[in-house]
Structure 1
Amino acid sequence: MKILITGVAGFIASHLCEYFLNETEHEVVGVDGFVREELQIIGTRNMISFLHHPRFTLIKENMLQLDWTKRLADVDIIYHLAGIPGVRSSFGSSFSEYVNSNILATQQILKACRGTGVQKLIFASTSSVYGEKIGQVSEEAELSPLSPYGITKQSGEQLCRVYRVNDGVPTVVLRFFTVYGPRQRSDMAFHLFIRRMLADEPIHVYGDGTQTRDFTFIQDCIQGTAAAGLRPGLIGETINIGGAERASVNEIISRLETLIGRKAKVIYTGTTHGEPKHTWADISKASRLLGYKPEVTLDKGLPLEMYDLMKLYS
């Protein structure tokens, strides 16, 4: 079977590619235009373990300029993980980049899937589409994103529905909840906190630090994501991919202090603009349909991310 993964140099996609090459016999085609500046620097590092694997092919091209008809000719499963992430920057002048990567590119690939032999397209969405909610959030909850980023991902979900209903494109939507672990993006909180604490530099926390997140370790995320493509059926489903443990930002800092052996220099600043106070995934559907069972707690996952960063910055 041939699997195509967009955004392959990124955090989640590179781990997914690694999984398929190491744990299965499938052929993998990775697509990445390296449109984010960070990926132009770290993309090769993310792919170092599989870049020269005999069952891996890299297509280094912008998705909006790719001849998808040619590339999808013999593809069985697509994981569409490419996109511009991040809540705060989506409010600024770079919003057009979010539109191009998260909406226009998604429409291009969905259009190209019509009439092909593609068996399934898995679209990577986010918990940001839910907005502010109380308690565990199921997939049936009303969508009310608080940021332009969340709106672009909701638009991607709706495009999947439109092309599935009207053209029979076999889509599945996964909503990821705060994925962390080795190779995490440098703008994410864990990466920033660990790097600054190791350097004995102050860390900046938006709001008062009492906001909580459903933290999902990367290997748990990959377990659910891979299953969404490999398990039969599931067409038209939307599924939460959450973690094994929730915690507040202040609790994370306390755990990192214990792990690193150093008191954090915390500066509380600004507000959690565009972000919900709490996130908490109801993963009962993922458990039922994917056999999904996240197992990595923060006490296990945080050291793994820290060791990865220590190697990167040493």
Structure 2
Amino acid sequence: MKILVTGAAGFIGSHLCERLLQDPNHEVIGLDALLETSPTPIATREHNLRHLLLHPRFTFINRNLLHVRWEDILPHIDIVYHLAGMPGVRSSWGEDFKTYISNNIEATQRLLEGCRQFPVSRFIYASTSSVYGEQLNQVNEDAITIPLSPYGVSKLTGEQLCKVYAHNLGVPVVILRFFTVYGPRQRPDMAFHRFITHIMADKPIPIHGDGLQTRDFTYVEDCVDAIAATAYAANIIGETINIGGKERASVLECIAILEELFGKKVERQFLGKATGEPRHTWADISKAQRLLGYHPITDLRTGLQAEMLDLLLPK
């Protein structure tokens, strides 16, 4: 099976490529634009690719989705995993939103056009829990979507584009909504990465709001289990599926775990509430369990320890 992964040099994308290559029947083409603007530095993305580039069944294409010639890539591709995009809630306001339009909306539409011209058996779109906005309880895929940020709007627009191409042109779309993925290689702008690096540098941990906000934390290896399962799962075309984790916790509870792991108390620096972020997230993953056989196994302490150890290693 020949598989295209966009965003292959990123946090989730690099883990997914490694997982897919564990199957000897898979050939993986990774597409990413290393020189383009991203919250993840070029050196970090190159580091993410270091093992993949040595693999005989992996091919890397360093190119922007907006400019690639699909006739050079998509013929004979069986599955497309579309993970590329501009992430981040806080940076999606103001003039910076134009990068979200180009990377999350225009690029998705262009890739869908490519898959219309060169049909694939599955098109898996990586979306986010940010499309739900503020929800009071556990949320399933039928919940109303009211994003709180321009980032959430851009990802929900990508979802709608997928549905338009599926309905009108038969593109075989599956939408996965990720809930706060963390673990080794996490982007440097994300909370756990910042917390750990601040502790390593003996700096106060910056906390937006009161720290009592909770998230459904999804360990990256659990997440890629679910993503990889879409390659063979039956009866999933046209579905939207939540991918959440094993454990929910507040920001302060996560910091307490890090204090245990580092064996020291950590100074907290409370900042104003971040604009566009929900108070709580909580995924109903019963659909993923039923359709993908998904069962996240990594508890928060184990996952945080793995991310901490990864950041402590010399790069």
TM-score category of the 2 structures, normalised to the smaller one: over 0.9
- Residue type at the aligned position of 2:138: Q
Residue 97 of structure 2 corresponds to which residue in structure 1?
95
In structure 2, C-alpha distance between the alignment counterparts of 1:249 and 1:69, rounded to whole Å? 46
Normalised to the residue count of structure 1, the TM-score between the two structures is 0.98
Note if 1:262 corresponds to 2:270: no
Q: Is the 8 A contact 1:197 1:262 kept in 2?
A: no
Residue 224 of structure 2 corresponds to which residue in structure 1?
222
What's the secondary structure of 2:133's corresponding residue? coil
Q: Alpha-carbon deviation of 1:115?
A: 4.4
Note if 1:36 corresponds to 2:37: yes
Q: Is the 8 A contact 2:234 2:291 kept in 1?
A: no
The runs of 5 or more residues in structure 1 that have no matched partner are none
Could you list the per-position Cα deviations for residues 20-43 of structure 1 after superposition, in whole angstroms to 9, with x for gaps in the alignment? 112443000000012234342211
Q: Is the 8 A contact 2:119 2:171 kept in 1?
A: no
Could you list the per-position Cα deviations for residues 166-191 of structure 1 after superposition, in whole angstroms to 9, with x for gaps in the alignment? 00000000000000000000011000
What does 1:64-75 correspond to in 2, within 5 Å?
64-75=66-77
Normalised to the residue count of structure 2, the TM-score between the two structures is 0.97
Identify if the C-alpha distance between structure 1 residues 97 and 277 changes in structure 2 by more than 3 Å, giving closer, same or farther.
same
Residue 27 of structure 2 corresponds to which residue in structure 1?
27
Q: Is the 8 A contact 1:146 1:274 kept in 2?
A: yes
- Residue type at the aligned position of 1:232: A
Identity of aligned residues (%): 56
Could you list the per-position Cα deviations for residues 122-166 of structure 1 after superposition, in whole angstroms to 9, with x for gaps in the alignment? 000000000000110000000000000000000000000000000
Match of 2:176 among 154, 174, 177: 174
Residue 7 of structure 2 corresponds to which residue in structure 1?
7
Could you list the per-position Cα deviations for residues 200-253 of structure 1 after superposition, in whole angstroms to 9, with x for gaps in the alignment? 111110000000000000010000011112223311000000000000000001
Match of 2:86 among 84, 93, 99: 84
Q: Is the 8 A contact 1:10 1:39 kept in 2?
A: no
Q: Is the 8 A contact 2:235 2:291 kept in 1?
A: no
What's the secondary structure of 1:29's corresponding residue? strand
- Residue type at the aligned position of 1:3: I
Q: Is the 8 A contact 1:122 1:229 kept in 2?
A: no
Deviates more, 1:46-55 or 1:208-217: 46-55
Q: Is the 8 A contact 2:132 2:145 kept in 1?
A: yes
Residue 238 of structure 2 corresponds to which residue in structure 1?
236
In structure 1, C-alpha distance between the alignment counterparts of 2:29 and 2:311, rounded to whole Å? 28
What does 1:180-259 correspond to in 2, within 5 Å?
180-259=182-261
Say what the alpha-carbon RMSD is for the aligned residues: 1.1
